[in-house]
Amino acid sequence: MKIDETYREVLKWASSFLEDAGQEATAAEFLLRGRLNWSKTDFILHLENQIPVEIKRQLIEDVKQHSKGIPIQHILGYEWFYDYCFKVTKDTLIPRPETEEIVDKFLKHAPSRSLTVLDIGTGTGAIAITIKKERPQDEVTGIDLSNAALTVSKENAAHLQADVRFLAGDLTAPVKAEQFDVVISNPPYIGENEKIDMDESVLNYEPQMALFAENNGLAIYQRLAEEIPAILKPDGQIFLEIGFRQGEAVKGIFQAAFPNAKVEVEKDMSGHDRLITVKQI
């Protein structure tokens, strides 16, 4: 490539390079904008400008990394969730838009009074921290089995100035003596038989313990259904992310655990089953 190339020229090369490697060509733009913290408008305004050598060098390195399947979020070191920037590492799941929808559902229907909220399997802390930022009056706790993930969630909470309590432990074990108004979780729910349908970047670069569960992905829901009744207040609610094929199965598990509750399957913006809500009656 030439020394005096424009952003447009370098991006054209980068997009073609990614396409040849089997990746989305648009990733080149995302990588550039992510590194420079540019809006779409910033990007358009600079297209015909000469690209500085150091920015070109970084983009080439980033593109080569992504061509190997490394997620954009791991290359940049962060992902946005509900308009907040969260650090991500190989020890955490990358926050996804589907999970934003679940948080949004809770926020839109939560009463104005202070609530005690428990996020099980907190990972980056995206759910717990977002709830605390949006509802400062709530007392929010995040639990994770992975100490490495908790290190990341605590860093995110400090950076975003969110007063969230983080505890290490297996599901509800650290809070067995407490009770909560709301339990929310995006647990591992992928069955081993689904690996064949998954993106290789997810399989290779995201933590397996946060992805897979036994019994066709239902094992953690079964455990949660056994444990949550002891820690949920009589008028409490549960919000659970699910796989798009698991709606009726998970609904049945929680209806059996909460026979007097209203248990519903709700869809995401794509029309897929994505959320189980449990409301005590």
Angle of CA points 228, 232, 233, to nearest 5°? 165
CA 203, 165, 99, 227 torsion: positive or negative?
positive
Give the pLDDT mean for 80-85: 96
Those residues with Cβ within 8 angstroms of residue 141's Cβ, 6 or more apart along the chain or in another chain? 116, 117, 118, 119, 128, 164, 165, 166, 167, 175, 180
- Which of the two residues, 202 and 157, has the higher pLDDT score? 157
d(CA 261, CA 111): 19
Which residue's structure tokens are 């990394």? 65
pLDDT in tens, 221-274: 999 999 999 999 999 999 999 988 899 999 999 999 999 999 999 999 899 999
Nearest CA among 82, 83, 164 for reference residue 122:
164
The answer to whether 57 and 32 have CB atoms below 8 angstroms apart is: no
pLDDT at 1 over 60: no
Q: Determine which of 123-127, 199-203, 253-257, 273-277 has the lowest per-residue pLDDT on average.
A: 199-203
Q: Quickly count: other Cβ atoms within 10 Å of residue 215's Cβ.
A: 12
- The pLDDT, as a whole number, for residue 195 is 67
Cα-to-chain-centroid distance, residue 112: 25
pLDDT at 38 over 80: yes
- The pLDDT, as a whole number, for residue 196 is 66
- The pLDDT, as a whole number, for residue 217 is 84
The answer to whether 123 and 94 have CB atoms below 8 angstroms apart is: no
- Which of the two residues, 1 and 29, has the higher pLDDT score? 29
- The pLDDT, as a whole number, for residue 213 is 73
- 152: which strand partners? none
Q: Quickly count: other Cβ atoms within 10 Å of residue 3's Cβ.
A: 7
- The pLDDT, as a whole number, for residue 201 is 72
Give the pLDDT mean for 44-72: 96
Would the pTM count as exceeding 0.95?
Answer: no
* Integer CA distances (angstroms), 167 to 119, 120, 180, 240, 257, in order: 10, 10, 15, 19, 25
- Which of the two residues, 196 and 120, has the higher pLDDT score? 120
pLDDT at 66 over 70: yes
pLDDT in tens, 164-178: 999 999 999 999 999
